[in-house]
Amino acid sequence: MTRIIIYCTAIIMALPAACRSEGEMSMEKLRDLMVKNQIEARGVSDKGVLDAMRKVERHKFVPGSHISSAYEDHPLPIGHGQTISQPYIVALMTELCELSGTEKVLEIGTGSGYQAAVLSLLAGEVYSIEIVEPLGKNARQKLADLGYNNVQVRIGDGYLGWPDEAPFDVIILTASPPKIPQTLVDQLAEGGILVAPEGDFSQELVKITKQNGRITRRTITYVRFVPMIRGS
């Protein structure tokens, strides 16, 4: 009788671990399909970006009620009127940053922390600002728990940037201001790149570069992001 009880207990204890293992494998397959069908198929080709999108577990950055949709081709709500961006847009914007592994990056709009996690695998340092305090605190803890140790999260007004750490090689916005704030352009390093949505109802994804003090601007595509919130 004792042996039977121990044997049954061992089986019961092993089941959750087995289920977790199968679940993680399933999520990995979904990430592979996401990269192949949603990202590579639309022209994103940078190997580093594709690898980062395969590695970062998007389902760990969405609310529990949306885990089953984590690898679908659309944004998802994360609370407080904010969203986690569509995977393709995250990959596209990351590719536009032209990261080589050593850059100092400023992100405006931490949100869930997903974009910061992707950036952290491709850059030297990531500084991220979130104006919605609960989101910023949750993202900071999530990134730390998952081992993204080169990301710093600050609660604050993204329109002000992070002057104490400027200049930045790359600045990326994950919410749309009516116009790109001059304060952020000023915090862009010589030779730097700024990638952002811009506009109110009609929005464009733009890429700005700074060379010899001269600003060059290129429109990439039309997009739809949540508005960039100003501090009070």
CATH assignment of the domain containing 148:
3.40.50.150
Examine residue 7 and state whether it is found in any structural domain, yes or no: yes
pLDDT of residue 231: 86
Specify the pairing of strand 214-223 against strand 203-211: antiparallel
Q: Give the count of domains, the chain.
A: 1
Q: How far is CA 11 from the centre of its chain?
A: 39
Query: Would you say 131 and 123 are in contact if contact means Cβ atoms under 8 Å apart?
Result: no
Q: Does the active-site annotation cover 100? A: no
* Model pLDDT, residue 79: 96
Domain presence at residue 139: yes
User: Does the residue 49 lie in any domain?
Assistant: yes
pLDDT given for residue 21 in this prediction: 52
pLDDT of 13: 39
Q: Does 229 reside within a domain?
A: no
- Domain range spanning residue 170? 2-223
pLDDT in the model for residue 15: 38
Residue 206 lies in a domain: yes
**Torsion (CA) 206, 158, 167, 54 in degrees, nearest 10:** -60
Per-residue pLDDT of the chain (232 residues; tens, 9 = 90+): 444 443 333 333 343 444 445 566 699 999 999 999 999 999 999 999 999 999 999 999 999 999 999 999 999 999 999 999 999 999 999 999 999 999 999 999 999 999 999 999 999 999 999 999 999 999 999 999 999 999 999 999 999 999 999 999 999 999 999 999 999 999 999 999 999 999 998 999 999 999 998 999 999 999 999 999 998 7
Which one is catalytic: 69, 85, 128, 232?
Answer: 85
pLDDT the model gives residue 4:
42
**Residue 12 confidence (pLDDT):** 35
**Confidence at residue 194, expressed as pLDDT on a 0 to 100 scale:** 98
Specify if 39 maps to a domain. yes
Report residue 108 as tokens. 């405006």
* Of residues 137, 83, 95, the one with CA closest to residue 119: 95
* Distances, alpha carbon 53 to alpha carbons 44, 71, 110, 166, 210, in Å: 11, 11, 17, 27, 27
In a domain, 228, yes or no: no
- The answer to whether position 231 is within a domain reads no
